[in-house]
Amino acid sequence: MQEEDREQYAEEDPRRHTIRIKGMLTDTISHLREDVSKVDDPRAEALFETTAEVLQGLVTAYEHYEQGAEEAWRPDPSATTDVPPRAGDVSSDFPRWQDEGGR
């Protein structure tokens, strides 16, 4: 079903990619939780379960992005496109820190 969901969006639509990434994260979560019962080391069990919980938080963040559930993920009404900024884009009103002698 994941592939069918992705196909309804154009290649440049972020949702096409968020659906795929959520699927990858979900697969990894399942794998980690299966592996918890396969190891005898309590520290490894805790590591795998903690990793699964962190990844589940990322899945939730992707869902919130897709739904516009958080204000940070909602499109800027003054923007000319509904595509969110790319990683590394910096708002012109964001202070740019200058090198202060390595501090």
Decide if 63 is inside a domain.
yes
- Our count of domains for the chain comes to 1
Q: Which domain holds residue 9?
A: 2-71
Decide if 93 is inside a domain.
no
pLDDT in tens, 63-94: 999 888 888 777 777 765 555 555 555 554 44
Q: Is the Cα dihedral 69, 70, 73, 79 positive or negative?
A: positive
Decide if 95 is inside a domain.
no
pLDDT in tens, 6-28: 778 888 888 889 999 999 999 99
- What's the pLDDT score for residue 4? 66
**Cβ neighbourhood burial of 77 (10 Å; 0-12, 13-18, 19+):** exposed
Decide if 82 is inside a domain.
no
Per-residue confidence at 103, pLDDT binned at 50, 70, 90? very low
